[in-house]
Structure 1
């Protein structure tokens, strides 16, 4: 293992994380595939076996919201392998709702997983990545660039991650660590299902926002019908791990690039507001 690059990926029980773990192993990395509940690792193990890379995929427990779990996992990786070459921050949780109806608790919970969890894993990994000249690749979202209706908490967390990583990147580069973000758009995975959304109950509880929420849900379900696969979304992650000079920011599809480009060219915000306003009309 001394000459094999060791990559830790969070949130690998399904979706992009699972696909990225298998793809990184196929690219020759030794992957420490982490998840909060290792009892959910069967799908990952089966996919790794089918790809012929089971020996390069090591399942480990890591709860990004628990600093003790983060420390324990990183310590174990260093004890077993003596090095850490890259971290892929992928673990995350979505939330659909609006703050007037739902209050602050869901906002805090969403920030805890999607922002503070990423910060904590990155903090713990940086000393080891300095030693190896490694990389931090964080899976954010087009929702980390473009704010989207009824995703206030999720987009706030992803915006925060983008700002954190963009600020950290030159600092980390000064000590030999590359920092970058990967921005998927709609991906056909278990991400929506994992939110446990009861759509009828959600609409019933939406009060005066119910018509806008219904329009948003209808539009979003249609968009996910045209989504890319987790395997397609994982390809840029592996490229970011292996490219000699990877960019700071990369999108996972042409649709994602066009969507993000709309925001980056929209100096006064009017184009984005017109676009996202049509989703709830």
Structure 2
């Protein structure tokens, strides 16, 4: 991989940071990008080339991609990882929060991919996007987050056959619960959220109790990064990757659920 250049978004913590470290170890020329340069220390510690990139800023995306290609002469892969979590139900969530979820989790992925495609065509490269089991299974109090992740999966599944005609492979990665800073970075005051939930308070408390249990047995970011690295080199290209047995079972339930009753029966238990 010594001549291969990979750009990764959202590398300040968690999965993105772990992917950057794994890519460096694998021999890629690794460009680790993040929104806030003040949080670049851990990414620099991987040995990656750390650069600023805000996936919600068109100029930032264009400048970063242009700089990478100017400096390295090519781009072989993009790992779309940057994302935010949004907890709450639609009646109480501010529209600005819902729009922010779409801007970061969906439109950011689209715009980075759009900017990268000409260079990936030239290198016959790869687009690997970290989505979530929440891109295949709608989950309580995650309407805004899952909507964005469903949109990403629909976008990528539609792009995949078109990109393949010009030699670009497209894959999505579907982790379940992962022990990263992702949840903490949501900055949700749980007691305040329950107090403000009104008639939804019992359901929200039940969901939080269930979710805490899920995160007690979560995967590590390094385990997810291993799957991302597999997706980058798999031949033939594999579109959909789950990162654990739980994720495979969970996604399989949804993909085979023609009338929606399997998922509804499962997730309704999370809020009771």
Cα distance in 1 for residues equivalent to 2:256 and 2:96: 34
- Counterpart CA distance in 2 for 1:201 and 1:262 is 33
The corresponding residue for 1:244 is 235
Corresponding residue for 1:270?
A: 261
Residue 83 of structure 1 corresponds to which residue in structure 2? 74
Equivalent of 1:202 in 189, 193, 197: 193
In the alignment, does 2:24 pair up with 1:14? no
Structure 1 runs (4+) deviating above 4 angstroms are none
Structure 2 partner of 1:111: 102
Using the alignment, how far apart are the partners of 1:105 and 1:277 within structure 2? 27
SS of the equivalent of 2:91 reads helix
CA-CA distance at 1:130 after TM superposition? 0.4
Query: Could you tell me which residue of structure 2 aligns to residue 219 of structure 1?
Result: 210
- Residue 148 of structure 1 is aligned with which of 139, 154, 178? 139
1:100 partner SS:
coil
8 Å contact 2:8–2:20 — kept in the other structure?
yes
Name the counterpart of 2:130: 139
Matched residue of 1:92: which SS?
coil
Query: Is the contact made by 2:170 and 2:237 (CA closer than 8 Å) also made in structure 1?
Result: no
Distance in 2 separating the partners of 1:244 and 1:147: 31
Q: Which residue of 1 aligns with 2:246?
A: 255
- Kindly indicate whether the alpha-carbon contact (under 8 Å) linking 2:10 and 2:35 is maintained by their aligned counterparts in 1: yes
Query: Which whole-Å deviations, capped at 9, do the CAs of 1:57-98 have from their partners, x for residues lacking one?
Result: 100000000000000000000110000000000000000001
2:60 paired residue among 69, 73, 84: 69
Alignment of 1:34-183 (within 5 A): 34-46=33-45, 48=46, 54=47, 57-183=48-174
**How does the TM-score come out when normalised to structure 2?**
0.98
Gaps of 5+ in 2: none
Deviation at 1:244, TM superposition (A): 2.3
Give distance in 2, aligned partners of 1:43 and 1:59: 10
In 1, Cα distance between equivalents of 2:82 and 2:135: 15
Q: Deviations over 1:33-55 (max 9, x none)?
A: 00001210112233x2xxxxx2x
Matched, 1:279 2:251: no
Does the CA-based 8 Å contact 2:132-2:175 persist in structure 1? yes
Q: Distance in 1 between matches of 2:80 and 2:125?
A: 14
Distance in structure 1 (CA, Å) of the matches to 2:88 and 2:176? 19
Deviation at 1:256, TM superposition (A): 0.5
